[in-house]
A = this chain, B = another copy of it.
Amino acid sequence: MTATAVSQRAFNFSAGPAVLPVSVLQEVQDELLCLPGARTSLMEMSHREKEFIEILHDAENSLRSLMGISDDYAVLFLQGGAALQFSMIPANLLRGTDKTAAYIQTGTWGKKAIGEAKKEGKINVVYDAATSNFNHVPAAGDYQVADDAAYLYYCSNETIQGVQFQSEPECPSSVPLISDASSDFLCRPLDINKYGLLYACAQKNAGPAGVTAVIIRRDLLDRGSDQLPGYLNYKNHAENDSEWNTPPTFAIYVLGKVARWLTNDIGGLDAMEKINREKSQLLYSAIDESDGFYASHAKPDCRSTMNVTFNLPNDELLTAFIKGAAENDLVNLKGHRSVGGIRASIYNAMPREGVECLANFMKDFASKNG
């Protein structure tokens, strides 16, 4: 069964939920009826069981080790996705203060976060790339953040537009920097000490849908009012080691395996970044060397290593591209309706082989239709 199933798998360029390492899926499959050392499935196990607590701690410690997260930060595993973080962040850090929160808007997800934050307090969109159809990120000096801002929020990689910050935006040291890293979490090393809070829903680069990793500096945990809905208060989750209520145990278990795969099979985030740069360069080269047949959506200096967005000369060719790619085992390439064209999501778990196949298909398709 397993060998057959593996051979049936296509190269899956879905933007999320997205490709997972085959070795992780195989481990999950092997352990599904009975977790080794236990006598039940992980899915049937109380979150208070010793075996699950070990899995939870392993997942946390793998992230701490991969990302160099000190004990100054809590690592939480929450439900509700990025959408709930859009509200939890201002509910904890802005609601009830007279401060203003600064937001950088470089795409769809930043825009959604702003929509939720407006309900909670005063915000200031310090940079807005909407007028250029979200094709870039700001440079230092393109915006100002007040020293007394509640926080500065940005989305490190806009999944839909395929624009990615190459490094953290400028931010006064007095202002907590907050990142939605959902679609480029664990794709490269970063200095977590620059952040007040960094979060990522798992279903792009770290696991299945249903769990969101939140890394929060502990001094920010006390900002939420006791009158917040309990689930929305970060402090509750931090004080209870992500077990304030029943956590999404299975999703955490898979996330932990992905983190271990990154450590043991890939060799950590430096190695992962090198692979991601090489993989994405294969596609950007195919775009740049197509004599204008393919048009990149993102400007060159902020092209994403995770989501490669480009368009074709017309809708007819776009349809033919998607159809032809699928016939070559390259699936889920259609871009988001708001941007159109093609989006090739090449997260950590996308094998280099899949990207090479796509790059070759792109060159072939351009030469036949250009």
Contact = CB atoms under 8 A, between A and B. Distances in A.
Contact of A19 (B19, B40, B119, B245): B40
Given A46-B16, A229-B116, A210 B5 contact: no
Contact of A245 (B14, B47, B81, B91): B81
A231 B16 CA distance: 19
Contacts of A246: 16-17, 81, 201, 203, 209
Overall SS of chain A's interface: loop
A302 interface: no
A116 B230 contact: yes
Contacts of A22: 33
Interface string A233-244: 000000000001
A212 to B, nearest CB: 9
B25 A32 contact: yes
Among A22, A25, A229, A254, residue most surrounded by chain B Cβ atoms (within 10 Å):
A229
22 contacts: A12-B40, A12-B44, A14-B45, A16-B46, A22-B33, A29-B32, A39-B331, A43-B209, A79-B80, A80-B80, A83-B244, A84-B229, A87-B230, A91-B229, A115-B230, A120-B229, A201-B246, A208-B250, A209-B246, A209-B250, A210-B249, A210-B250
Interface of A: 1-2, 5-6, 8-10, 12, 14-20, 22, 25-26, 28-30, 32-34, 39-41, 43-47, 49, 79-84, 86-88, 91, 115-116, 119-120, 201, 203, 208-211, 227-232, 244-251, 254, 329, 331-332
